[in-house]
Structure 1
């Protein structure tokens, strides 16, 4: 159980950092943090609507994974005997 716990903590850290990066790459809707960087970081990814849609799907998938890992860690902590 200790190995599973360690793997989940590492996965939580990695998905959390990736989620932060993906949210920052998204196209700003005006006045957001992406405008502060000038949008140069994400100009290649967001050149089309398809790129933005794929970026949104990846972000949602990663967010769901992050949430599942948190729930699993909570269950392991709760029922650890």
Structure 2
């Protein structure tokens, strides 16, 4: 159980990093490294940005719940 939850936390962590890097930058920063400075019709869409926000929030909440659960499992097992 602990090993499976640990793997899920690692996968959520990588996914969360990728989702944060996909967000449109407010000016300079990491998003410009991946073409964030170039405006495109799809990237400027508010629907796409809103869905990316929702996906990032859901992933972050899953990560938090899994980290707390993993901490509880480890503390009870020790």
Runs of 4+ with deviation above 4 angstroms: none
Structure-2 residue corresponding to 1:62: 59
TM-score (norm 2): 0.86
Structure 2, gaps ≥5 residues long:
none
Q: 1:52, CA displacement in angstroms? A: 0.1
* Partner residue of 1:17 out of 7, 14, 21: 14
Number of residue pairs aligned between Structure 1 and Structure 2: 76
Structure 1 gap segments, 5+ residues each: none
RMSD over aligned Cα atoms: 1.8
Q: Shift of residue 39 of structure 1?
A: 2.1
1:45, CA displacement in angstroms?
A: 5.5
Structure 1, residues 16-38: CA drift from partner, whole Å, max 9, x if none?
Answer: 00000000000001112101222
Q: Provide the TM-score with structure 1 as the length reference.
A: 0.83
